[in-house]
Structure 1
């Protein structure tokens, strides 16, 4: 099993704060998203970025990973567990808590699954068989789309695959009980957490989406397509809009009573000129606005 440097994948330093890690993830996820990216190997890069963010955004997972990384591993190095396995070697992190997700995009590497997913409870590093001790507890990372639609999620527990119905609008921290699906025929309790999503953030039941608009769309107004959990919708950008302006799509957030809204935050991005006509258009803008546009 080869070591992965998640900090290197996101392009941040090991001491980076939560906001910096989130910002790097959002930037790279937009860059490599398979639906829009023309970068070579975009799909694999997108998966790598999602995996790195899943490892570093959770304090418990990050602490365990940091302790492993401190042993001096470099990308591609063969990883050997410490004496007694991961569960005993890393500061008391409880690897009996199965990570039963799949996260944003799923398809995590063997390195991720062995470090966070199987532990002692699933027969990974450490090798000890689980001891009967009541209900089996696990965390289930579900996509925001599954929460919005109430669609089923497929998870792996040990050597088994289960299909779990996700109730619409379920909240982080709520628990789904699967009778008889845990260790030794006990119940399996799945604690819900939301998987990272490159397009959306969650604020209560509201969904936040940062929408890139061109300078002329912000200045003149435009109708643009905006992704939502229920599919794309048309949004009118008012004239004379500035970066940071927030527009509301009512009822487009997570289900509930009442349903949440989607908040669209505008971010003005200037595309680089790639043709003589585009270069001329920028030169015309420069001449029209002059040097005083900052003060305006």
Structure 2
């Protein structure tokens, strides 16, 4: 994060007095106010002018900023900006910010789907943890009709403290920047007004949902604070590995095992699609191991055209053929002139038979 030069933004020198900074601010604020300036950049420029004035008009903030500007330390400037963001809204409104409704945070989760669920759609029940209004204090953070306050001992009521390695004040972690502690705070939520609870929501998965898609469930994020609207739930889709099909883009790939006679002579093989439909696929004579056949439109469905089903054929070799099959294979090997095939019983088999005859 590059360090902004607030002096250049207001058009004053580094040695400018408070009065000079104030006059420059008033002039620029009047020029760039969005209500009077039609320029599309006016709102952002007006905010930037307010940001610069907010820092340079405060002796403490200006001193800290000058040290950062001189050193060019972007890390310290990033942390300084986090501190500034806590108070910029005060400058924008012209008054110290009062606690009001605050929208709840969004929740982002992974949603694992099978290939069938993603392809044809389904309804999933999602269980997750989120912040909800405290049932004991009804989201107020305190018990009773009204709040009872006492000055925060850590920040002495300022809402800010110097802590850690940074030498500029940050929101007080004890009172959360409020400047006071709640004497009658709720014991269940510790004054937060919210508690973590398991929630369940049913989500409709549309057909053709793909890997990486993000489904938004409005209003099912964390509950807002002080009556604010809830955040949203975002589900990023992850597809589970399939035991049969392999998805590449919109295409579905699968292996089909066929017998040696079918590969040689050709014929028909039955193949199941992802939907469970059984297709009869015609094979030309002489199918080689590893050859493929593409069936258009039978792959993964999508909002446009569906992908293809790509079949890769493998020759199935019997692991323990029967005696009858062995004889037929030997006869075939002899017919083809195959010299490497052992047409006689194996030597170990001869030894086993000899031992059995003696016993």
Give the structure-2-normalised TM-score. 0.42
Larger RCO, structures 1/2 (Cα 8 Å, 6+ apart): 2
Higher Cα Rg: structure 1 or 2? Answer: 2
Give the structure-1-normalised TM-score. 0.50
